Amino acid sequence: MFIMFIVVSTTFVISSVVMILASILSKKLITDREKNSPFECGFDPKGSARLPFSLRFFLIAVIFLIFDVEITLLLPLASIIHLTNMFSWALTGVLFLLILLFGLYYEWHQGALEWSY
Amino acid sequence: MALVMFVSYLILIICVLVGVAFVTLLERKILGYIQIRKGPNKVGFIGLLQPFADAVKLFTKEQTVPVKSNFLPYYASPVFSLFTALIVWLVIPYEIGMMNLNMGVLFFLCCLGLGVYSTMSAGWASNCKYSLLGSLRAVAQTISYEVSLALILLSFIFLVGGFSLELFNLYQESVWFLWVTLPLALIWFASCLAETNRTPFDFAEGESELVSGFNTEYSSGGFALIFMAEYASILFMSALFALLFLGGGPSSPLFYAKLVGVSFAFIWVRGTLPRLRYDKLMGLAWKSFLPVSLNYLIFFMGMKMLCYCSMI
């Protein structure tokens, strides 16, 4: 655990040092209004950049959340095979996967996976 | 013991960073020869020093900070992306010296999930419309393909019965998993392409519609770090492909040849295929890869049961 902590913090330090090195080495700035405005094809930026985004992205994220939780539930199934009764392992696993699969098909049928209507 | 691990990890990281530099050279060379030109061949000996010249150029360029950006996330997200791309290399199962995590696959999945955050914060913090759109696309794409990636990985975990990547060396001694499960390997490869935002799926930086996607506002160091993280993850995905499907761990020299071969395939795809349409990309992930990998998962459960029952 301790070595893991050391390794993770070292990696973080390495990447921060690279970034800070770049900041130090880089050509010194002469800032002006045009250079520091967000890029928008040569125009002055019109309106806020934090636009409301399409709801599709949000729905995809919700579906992803469901599937990710189910993957999390599936993960222990692989290593538990040595510890449990074979029949119950198979029954739970297959039932769970079938529910997942038919859930996906149902979502598909209802059009939740269509990107645009 | 801890010191040995630490030093070997440090050496691995440095070698990865040097490897990243040369992958960029490899990419430019291969793209050059695909387009019937030579690519970089002047700097150093036949262009071998080109990546270092690029690094010097990138690091000495002017580093701009857009006025309306949120400085801290803007500055920190390239650091974080390089961090996640480097820390994931812990799972490579070296036989001596390294950690050899026995939950390596889980660690890999966690790092994969973390990779989304840096893209998202980079795009949002730049406070530029192109960056925001690019990051939204990148996040939706990455999380969609993550599901099928995890499910494919899960079927192999069922097959080998454990989360350690060492088991994959063990189980592939006589036959590669590539030949056992060719369709799944191809799906894995396509998902890897999408996961690392490579060309047929590079909507995060579709330069024809979004100027450069989520890294539009980045220059010099920030851009260099994002670039390095991207290529480090490509290299890692190639290594993982070689581990999972092409047999043999990193203790055999042939492993590295396979790794370079898969990286070559990544670049070859970039030189050959045109970009998809965004709805087709999402359709591919949710309507094709996900059902196929779920069905395969049930199949592999049955196969595992068969093997296990015949064993006892």
B211 inside 8 A of chain A by CB? yes
Q: Quick one: pLDDT at residue B305?
A: 83
* Whether B270 contacts A43, CB under 8 Å: no
Q: Quick one: pLDDT at residue A117?
A: 53
Of B100 and A63, the structure prediction assigns the larger pLDDT to A63
B291 inside 8 A of chain A by CB? yes
Radius of gyration for chain A, computed over Cα atoms and rounded to the nearest angstrom: 25
A88-102, B86-100, B202-216: segment of lowest average pLDDT: B202-216
Residue B248 has pLDDT above 80, yes or no: no
Chain B residues close to A29, C-beta within 8 Å? 62-64
* Whether B272 contacts B34, CB under 8 Å: yes
Q: What pTM value is reported for the model?
A: 0.89
Instruction: Give pLDDT tens digits for B127-142.
Output: 888 888 888 888 888 8
- Residue spans per domain, chain B: 1-311
Q: How far is CA B275 from CA B22, B171, B196, B226, B271, in A?
A: 25, 37, 14, 21, 11
Q: Which of A17, A18, A73 is best to mutate for the B interface (most B CBs within 10 A)?
A: A18
Residue A47 has pLDDT above 80, yes or no: no
| Interface touch B217/A38, C-beta < 8 Å | yes
What's the whole-number mean pLDDT along residues B193-206? 80
Alpha carbon B117 to chain centroid distance? Answer: 15
What's the whole-number mean pLDDT along residues B179-184? 87
B216 inside 8 A of chain A by CB? yes
